């Protein structure tokens, strides 16, 4: 889907924005979830006013950082909605949401915040919600999940699983599948 509110930046402005996003990604990779905009400006070699011209605040910066992962998750949700085996589609959707959050701390932060600042993120959220509802409706009709499960439940539960995986030692890599199994069993009628 093309988002009509995307603004085309001048080449120099796009380069500056890319430098700021790269600086923020480097901080995230180093474990800095605070993303102080003054530090981002310094790391990118720009003034803090420049950062604020591109990003209204930390949340807007996180949403910009998460946009590509969000779009990838939407593609996986579309595939899940079209999967002929809806139980498999649901499992794939939940696994994709968990894995994307584990791979991208910005996406994890954005999904764990119920309110967004950017129009693009709001549109992405609506699209993901619509696709998730298609998966859930089909899963309900097939008797795979309880009748009361809604897309926001899936968002919250995958955010919780992401936190659970990050908080414990998972040296053998089995926590993801174990927690997914627990969650999917809990969604059954």
How many separate domains does the chain show?
2
Per-residue pLDDT of the chain (189 residues; tens, 9 = 90+): 555 555 555 788 889 999 999 999 999 999 999 999 999 999 999 999 999 999 999 999 999 999 999 999 999 999 999 999 999 999 999 999 999 999 999 999 999 987 888 999 999 999 999 999 999 999 999 999 999 999 999 999 999 999 998 887 766 778 888 999 999 999 999
- What is the CATH classification number for the domain harbouring 108? 1.10.357
In this structure, is residue 2 part of a structural domain? no
Closest C-alpha to 154, from 103, 102, 104, 92: 92
Residue 110 covered by a domain: yes
Question: So what's the pLDDT on residue 172?
Answer: 73
Q: What per-residue confidence (pLDDT) applies to 46?
A: 95
The domain boundary residue, chosen from 16, 35, 55: 55
Q: What is the Cα–Cα distance from 88 to 84, expressed in whole angstroms?
A: 8
- What is the distance between the alpha carbons of residues 35 and 59, in angstroms, rounded to a whole number? 10
Residue range(s) defining the domain that contains residue 125: 65-187
pLDDT number for residue 173? 72
Q: From 121, 20, 126, select the one nearest 77 (Cα to Cα).
A: 126
Q: pTM of the prediction?
A: 0.88
Give yes or no: residues 81 and 170 share one domain: yes
Question: What stretches of the chain show up as alpha helix (H) in DSSP?
Answer: 11-29, 37-44, 48-54, 58-82, 86-103, 105-111, 119-141, 151-167, 175-187
What pLDDT does 13 receive? 82
| 43 and 75, same domain (yes or no) | no
Q: For the domain that residue 30 is a member of, what is the CATH number? A: 1.10.10
Instruction: Report the pLDDT value the prediction gives residue 167, as an integer from 0 to 100.
Output: 86
**CA–CA separation, 153 vs 29, rounded Å?**
28
């Amino acid at each position: 889907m093309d988002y009509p509110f995307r603004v085309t930046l001048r080449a120099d402005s796009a380069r500056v924005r890319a430098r700021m996003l790269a600086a923020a990604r480097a901080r995230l990779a180093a474990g800095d979830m605070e993303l102080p905009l003054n530090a981002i400006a310094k790391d990118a070699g720009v003034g803090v006013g420049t950062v604020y011209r591109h990003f209204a605040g930390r949340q807007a910066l996180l949403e910009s950082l998460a946009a590509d992962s969000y779009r990838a998750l939407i593609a996986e949700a579309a595939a899940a909605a079209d999967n002929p085996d809806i139980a498999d589609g649901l499992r794939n959707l939940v696994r994709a949401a968990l894995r994307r959050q584990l791979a991208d701390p910005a996406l994890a932060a954005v999904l764990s915040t119920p309110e967004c600042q950017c129009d693009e993120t709001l549109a992405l959220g609506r699209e993901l919600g619509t696709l998730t509802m298609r998966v859930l409706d089909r899963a309900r009709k097939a008797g795979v999940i309880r009748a009361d499960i809604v897309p926001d439940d899936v968002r919250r539960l995958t955010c919780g699983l992401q936190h659970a995986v990050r908080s414990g030692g998972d040296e053998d890599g089995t926590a993801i599948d174990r927690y997914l199994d627990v969650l999917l069993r809990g969604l059954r009628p």
